[in-house]
Each structure stands twice: as C-alpha cells, then as structure tokens.
Amino acid sequence: MVNLELGTVDNGKSMSEILKDALEAKGYSQRSFAKKLGYTPQNFSQRLKKNSFTAEEWRNMAYELGYEVKLVEMESGVEFESRRKGHGRRVRQVINGVLYDTYKADMLCGDFFKDGASEYTDGMAFELYVDYFGRFFVARYTEWENGSDSITTIGKEEAGKLYKKYGDGTLKDSIFI
C-alpha cells in the first residue's frame, strides 16, 4: 500500500503534485489516465497545471487509482467519520429538557423497506439513533393522515436488542454496554 502524505498547509504538496505522485506509484502516464477518465490529454494537463479540478473530481480520481480520501484530525490523528444519516424525515423533540434531533445524531438501524419493497410497514417505520453524548433514542415515523412523528428515549440494553434485530452488524457490541 502506498501512503501519499499531504503534509501541512505550510509545507504540503498541491493536489496536482499528489496526483502526479499517485499516477507514478500506480504506473499510469498522465495521458493514459486522462483518457481513462474521459478527458483529452491536453485538457487534463492544463487543469493539472492550474490545479483546477473540483474536490469531487479529485476524490473520483483518487478512487480510480485505488485510494480513498479521508479527513484526519491533525492534533489527535483520529479519522473523521461523517454522520450516519437516516432514511426518515427530520424529527426534533425535547424530552426532560433535552433536545433530541435526528439530524444531529447517527442512525444505527431501522425498519424502512423491511420487506424489501414498502417504505413503511402498516403506515409506520422507526429508526434507532445515538447522539453525540451517547444517548439512544428511537424516531417513529407515520404516514397516516393526521399521524405525527415522535421520539422516544431508550436505554442501552434495549437499543442493543433493537440493533441486534435490525442492524447491519458493523457496530461493536460495546457501544450498548
């Protein structure tokens, strides 16, 4: 595995320099890589010189070369993980003075499309969330006329049981202890 280091703002390489290093490491010429991506070699070379690709284009080029782009906090070295978004619409509710918000928490599991076809089962669906403070809650969604979405808090043990039944198995059991 080849590790390409960005460095710091003061001494780091430009994205073009990093891409050139990656092309060399993978044995690609700029010309062949440009053609693979659907660019003319001239256009690719010009954009590389000007460092004028969008962030999404850089990410896609890294992917084509077999790399993934990650954000790592400089101070701690901890990799940033983006929020696991749910399928349901946003639900916010204050319970015992605490605001629970599905847009500010990680969705752990749910039963949307449980049968493989229907978004809701019998007009209802749920998602299990955990917030930044480690509090678990369930967002319940309804599609009935005059129905309302709601949030219910849930303990770790019960959250673990829900995850065991509906989760994808990627989380460690220790999150629920």
| Structure tokens belonging to residue 107 | 């969705």
CA 151, 155, 156, 158 dihedral sign is negative
Domain for residue 86, yes or no? no
Domain that holds residue 111: 92-168
On whether both 37 and 59 belong to a single domain, the answer is yes
pLDDT in tens, 157-170: 999 999 999 999 88
On whether both 68 and 5 belong to a single domain, the answer is yes
Torsion of CA 47, 50, 56, 60, to 10 degrees: 50
2: which residues sit within 8 A by CB, 6+ positions away? 22, 25, 26
What is the pTM (predicted TM-score) of this model?
0.59
On whether both 135 and 62 belong to a single domain, the answer is no
**Domain C-terminal end among 60, 81, 102:** 81
Report the 3 state secondary structure along 137-150.
EEEEEECCCCCCCE
pLDDT in tens, 29-49: 999 999 999 999 999 999 999
pLDDT in tens, 60-92: 999 999 988 888 888 888 887 778 899 999 999
Asked which of 70-84, 107-121, 149-163 is least confident by mean pLDDT, the reply is 70-84
